[in-house]
Structure 1
Amino acid sequence: MFSAVFHLIMFIHYTFIIYYEQNILNPPEEIRKHEKIGLGSLKFITFWDLLVQWLYFTVALLNDILHSNTPVSGQHRKCSQLQKCRDFIFTTIGFSTATFVCSAFWGLYALDRELIQPAAVFDSWFPTWFNQGTHTVPIFGVLVEMQLICHRFPSRKTGFLTVACFASSYLLWTLFIGYYWDFWVYAILKQLTGFGRFVFITVMAAFFALTYFVGESLHHTSWKVKTL
């Protein structure tokens, strides 16, 4: 029962955050003039994460409402397609994207916030609570979810390739925006040289990939069962 309530709370949270970002948030002209570049908010990995989390908690909530849960000890082939979809999203891009976005954002923020969210550009219009809702809530959300629900993981190859393809898609999209429109989504990419960007992106890609194995390890440690 608690898991269903949690799924409802998170669904409402992400629905509101996405709506607020798209319809209420009022950035200055300096930001708005770049809105059409890179399909608007879709140039930001944070927005990708918000969509992924919204999708996951929508599916999880529907699974709760339709009572289509099957205990992890049961036969996987007897699981509903909705539950299989829920588990696949969470164990691949759900956990990994939330962990990557929040860890990378706050890591760079602690190092030098001007690299990721310059104070002069954001502080006047970007509310602190909204920043927490987009860059802190996701990682706590997936960690709580991991303790509430025992998910079935795909094969390691399938899971890792899914995360790798998702991460690569965003990195390629970022590079396309940077070189085609001459607009770097994050300040740190604008400051780096070509080789510096290569090193930074390689490190970020490796970290993104690592989050899959972190999630797999944490989940198996928490539940003490084989869920592959």
Structure 2
Amino acid sequence: MALVPSQVLRVAILLSYCSILCNYKAIEMPSHHTYGGSWKFLTFIDLVIQAVFFGICVLTDLSSLLTRGSGNQEQERQLRKLISLRDWILAVLAFPVGVFVVVVFWIIYAYDREMIYPKLLDNFIPGWLNHGML
């Protein structure tokens, strides 16, 4: 039962999203202590959606590896439900929100950097973390 490279890639992506979330929550920014906290930023919401999506992808991969060849119809039905949930989250949440966040960020960034990502934030959020979140 060898792991397929796509399954290993999904685990790696999930771990990177979780590490970015942990680093983001560890940063002390004044905006984290105002109304809404981190949840008022669409970038953070997108990061959480992507992490949940890749968590479901990993769960789907593990379930398919564990139920392969068992012949249990109930397990196969549950796996099909999990796959349809994964596909729904990708089609309705993860892809549209992800594309919207990236496109809008870079359009506004190209127009006026100070409007969307002031130079003051460079002191709080390192460049690698900013690009990792997008």
Q: Match of 2:12?
A: 9
Question: What is the CA–CA distance in structure 2 between the aligned matches of 1:101 and 1:10, rounded to whole Å?
Answer: 18
Query: What amino acid maps onto 1:81 in structure 2?
Result: K
Q: Match of 1:123?
A: 122
Q: Which ranges in structure 1 are unaligned for 5 or more consecutive residues?
A: 70-77, 136-228
Q: 1:26 deviation in Å? A: 3.1
Q: 1:9 deviation in Å? A: 1.1
Q: Match of 1:47?
A: 44
Question: Among 58, 63, 68, which residue is 1:66 paired with?
Answer: 63
Identical amino acids, percent of aligned pairs: 31
Question: What is the CA–CA distance in structure 2 between the aligned matches of 1:97 and 1:14, rounded to whole Å?
Answer: 16
Q: Match of 1:141?
A: none
Question: Among 5, 13, 20, which residue is 2:23 paired with?
Answer: 20
Q: 1:5 deviation in Å? A: 1.3
Q: 1:12 deviation in Å? A: 0.3
Query: What amino acid maps onto 2:117 in structure 1?
Result: Q
Cα deviation code 1:51-95 (max 9, x no counterpart):
1000000000000011179xxxxxxxx562211110000011110
TM normalised by structure 2 equals: 0.83
Question: What is the CA–CA distance in structure 2 between the aligned matches of 1:83 and 1:45, rounded to whole Å?
Answer: 26
Q: Which ranges in structure 2 are unaligned for 5 or more consecutive residues?
A: 68-76
Question: What is the CA–CA distance in structure 1 between the aligned matches of 2:39 and 2:12, rounded to whole Å?
Answer: 24
Structure with the bigger percentage of helix: 2
Q: Match of 1:109?
A: 109
Q: 1:101 deviation in Å? A: 0.5
Query: What amino acid maps onto 1:66 in structure 2?
Result: S
Query: What amino acid maps onto 1:123 in structure 2?
Result: D
TM superposition outliers: structure 1 runs of 4+ over 4 Å: none
**Total equivalences in the alignment:** 121
Query: What amino acid maps onto 2:125 in structure 1?
Result: F
TM normalised by structure 1 equals: 0.50
